[in-house]
Amino acid sequence: MKLFLAEDDAVLADALLTRLGQLGFSVSHAADGLAAQQQLLAEPFDAVILDIGLPGLDGLQVLRNVRVHRPALPILLLTALDSMEDRVAGLDAGADDYLVKPFEFPELEARIRALLRRHRVADNVRDELRFGRLRLDRGGQRAWADQQALELSARELQLLDILMAHADRVVTKEQIAGELSGDGEEVGANAVEVYVHRLRKKLDGSGVGIRAVRGLGYLLARLDAGT
* Strand-pair category, 26-30 with 128-131: unpaired
Domain range for 106:
2-124
pLDDT at 1 over 90: no
Average pLDDT over residues 138-149: 85
Average pLDDT over residues 164-193: 78
The answer on 101 and 33 residing in a single domain is yes
Q: Say which residue, 185 or 130, is predicted with more confidence.
A: 130
Helices (H) and strands (E) in the chain, counts: 8, 12
Mean residue pLDDT of the chain comes to: 86
CA dist 140 and 76 (Å) reads 30
Q: Is residue 191 part of a domain?
A: yes
Residue 185 has a pLDDT of: 63
The answer on 136 and 34 residing in a single domain is no
The answer on 92 and 72 residing in a single domain is yes
Q: Which of 124, 145, 168 is the last residue of a domain?
A: 124
- Give the pLDDT confidence of 38-58 residue by residue, as tens digits: 999 988 888 999 999 999 999
pLDDT at 15 over 60: yes
φ and ψ at residue 128, rounded to 5 degrees: -120, 125
CA dist 109 and 219 (Å) reads 36
Give residue 227's pLDDT band: very low, low, confident or very high (50, 70, 90).
Answer: very low
Residue 226 has a pLDDT of: 44
Return the beta strands (E) in 83-125 as ranges: 97-100
pTM, to two decimals: 0.56
Number of domains the chain is built from: 2
Q: Is residue 212 part of a domain?
A: yes
